[in-house]
Chains A and B, each alone.
Chain A
């Protein structure tokens, strides 16, 4: 089980259309051996939860560039828990330092900021998944 490749959903939650970062991250994670399910733009917590159940994923990665992370990331964590799942939620994008602690307190497993290297991105996902497994 531990040797099975990590399966991760990547999605843009809400209206934010900045998809440069998430597409780069998707390729980084694929190159490092993970199975990436990219849901694309304009997803809701509901569409992400149903995909997470259907695809039996190990992690959910959200990308946020519109300063909506303080509202939408905790909402995602809540939706995961309400669905009876324990899937870790990882946030990438533009997140000011002072938001890191409140996001962690809200149950976000990890935050990847601008300038993260490919190795950091893959390692962060692995760690979040392994902590959870």
Chain B
């Protein structure tokens, strides 16, 4: 009996603490979702267990909001995009019908690089890894019959983000949607492009100028819009470790903050609309530790180093996607298990939204059935596991708390290096690290180390270097035929024929003029240009005339 009394006393201690009472007051004031909040066996569960600091309280290790998933489940945001705008719109409609609560758009490679479907560079790439968008006409089809005032949309594009945002704004205006009602995110995180994903157009400094223009424009006109999603996902996919993903991403975040503040924007005006995007890989506790550490580090730096005052500025709110790179081409069905574990790690890490990969994505874009299984996986985590009933259920575990601290220590060591590289400026440190190859070589080194561990058999990947029986080699993959390229080129030719060339040219000249004057915001001229049906590439080139292009040094 003595043991039971001891347990009781420990629980009594935190339950009677003033911290708990303060949290409870905020928790009670929040809306709560409907739910049983009992285990399958009928045991009632409280929203939180253990001592503070509690969720919704600095430094937010346990969650950004006091009530987390007790108020609202994470947004199940499934990334989709392939072929033509009509094809992708059909997938969007399917996602919304099946209970998806947000849309996320994947663009094809030419679009991501600011190239039109009729560019020689686009050969063999149109519609392959996302949807092709050349002009406002495509954007209109992409979001046909989607209520932009109520559905939040995410657009994963960086180099030409300002032009795509301009097209989105133009479509919203056509539909009579107030810009202030537009909710969503445009990725627009250019630093990780030079570091990992390599979808850049202009050199770093002009790119950051465009981003600060977007931050300013959305601060004034689109208060619900996230002008940037600071993304570690691609850094991890490119081969970094979890700690490098964490550190590079947050350092990039600090760099954008420094850039916007230097451009005269008040930190609390925009920092609350910054959001993050992390990877959830298979090493379960490391991922959870990483996500918990991200919240704590961001809060500390925003408060202590950058002097943010508003609570919202200190909140590291993030989207999570399961690790595409972890999916194996061998025995692809077993990827369903990997994705489920990674999704659970994201949820236990307190994510605000989640994309689950489809099991067939190692070889191609997901089929509709595979995409549905991926969404259903999230629904199982949400409704069957009980993981969403208690906030930060792993908080207080010695291992998870240690891992959280360890992730933070490793990230701080990298921040110190960047701070030194930039002589006291993280922004300059990030520029320097891009310039001297620091980021790409760290990532390549980590990728190679991991590959060697797999190759020498010391790290087991099921189905790849062990347990390899049972690969029947059957594949049912989504294929984008050459007819998409043909169709899209014809469509672009039609749009170009019908537009007024003089209007287009004048609008493009205005974009170039705006780009060449650092005191002018480029956004209004871009919006005006896309309305004349100037193409993505034409607008991009209008800015290239001033900004030039970026070519990576080929380093191994």
Taking beta carbons and an 8 Å cutoff, which residues of A are in contact with B? 14-17, 19-20, 23-24, 26-28, 30, 36, 38-42, 66-68, 70-72, 75, 94, 96-98, 113-115, 117-118
CB distance from B244 to the nearest CB of A (A): 13
Question: Which residues of A sit under 8 angstroms from B237, Cβ to Cβ?
Answer: 20
| Complex contacts, B447 vs chain A, CB 8 Å | 20, 23-24
Contact B123 A71 (CB under 8 A): yes
Given contacts A24-B447, A38-B556, could you give 17 more A-B pairs where the C-beta distance is less than 8 Å?
Answer: A15-B112, A17-B198, A17-B199, A20-B239, A24-B444, A39-B554, A41-B198, A41-B552, A67-B365, A68-B109, A75-B123, A94-B362, A94-B364, A96-B475, A96-B477, A98-B475, A118-B455
Q: Which residues of B contact A28 (CB under 8 A)?
A: 451
A93 to chain B, nearest CB (A): 11
Query: Contacts A72-B124, A115-B464 given: A20-B238 contact, CB under 8 Å?
Result: yes
Q: A24-B447, A66-B128 are in contact. Are A96 and B363 (CB under 8 A)?
A: yes
Residues of the A chain whose Cβ atoms lie less than 8 Å from the Cβ of B551:
42
Complexed CA–CA distance, A115 and B443 (Å): 19
- Chain A residues with Cβ below 8 Å from B122 are 15
Q: Check: B329 CB closer than 8 A to any chain A CB.
A: yes
When distances are taken between beta carbons in the complex, the residues of chain A under 8 Å from B553 are: 40
Seen from chain B, the residues whose Cβ lies within 8 Å of a Cβ on chain A are 109-110, 112-113, 115, 121-125, 128-129, 197-199, 237-239, 325, 328-330, 362-365, 443-444, 447-448, 451-452, 455, 464-465, 473, 475, 477, 479-480, 482, 551-554, 556
Residues in B with CB closer than 8 Å to A23 are 444, 447-448, 556
| Residue contact A97 to B473, C-beta cutoff 8 Å | yes
A interface, over-half SS: mixed
For A11, the closest partner residue in chain B by CB is B554
Q: Is the CB of B329 within 8 A of A115?
A: yes
Contact B125 A68 (CB under 8 A): yes
Given A66-B125, A71-B124, A96-B363, are A27 and B448 neighbors across the interface (CB < 8 Å)? Answer: yes
Closest 4 CB pairs of A and B: A40-B554, A71-B124, A17-B198, A68-B124
Structural contact, A115 and B328, CB atoms closer than 8 A = yes
Listed by A's residue number, 26 A-B pairs whose Cβ atoms lie within 8 Å are A14-B109, A14-B123, A15-B125, A19-B238, A20-B239, A20-B447, A23-B447, A23-B448, A24-B444, A24-B448, A30-B556, A38-B554, A39-B554, A42-B551, A66-B125, A66-B128, A67-B128, A68-B124, A71-B123, A75-B123, A94-B329, A96-B363, A97-B475, A115-B328, A115-B464, A117-B455
Q: When chains A and B are docked, how far (Å) is the Cα of A72 from the Cα of B122?
A: 11
**Closest CB-CB distance, A122 to chain B, in whole Å?**
11
Task: Considering the complex, give the chain A residue whose CB is closest to the CB of B447.
Answer: A20
Chain B, residue nearest A95 (CB):
B363
Task: Give, as a whole number of angstroms, the nearest-CB distance from A45 to chain B.
Answer: 10
Chain A residues contacting B455 (CB-CB under 8 Å) are: 117-118
Tell whether A14 pairs with B125 under 8 Å between CB atoms, given A23-B448, A24-B451, A115-B329: yes
CA distance A40 to B556 in the complex (A): 9
- With A66-B109, A117-B455 in contact, is A94–B363 under 8 Å at CB? yes
Please report the C-alpha to C-alpha distance between residue A67 and residue B482 in the assembled complex, in whole angstroms: 11
CB distance from B463 to the nearest CB of A (A): 8
Q: Which residues of A contact B238 (CB under 8 A)?
A: 19-20
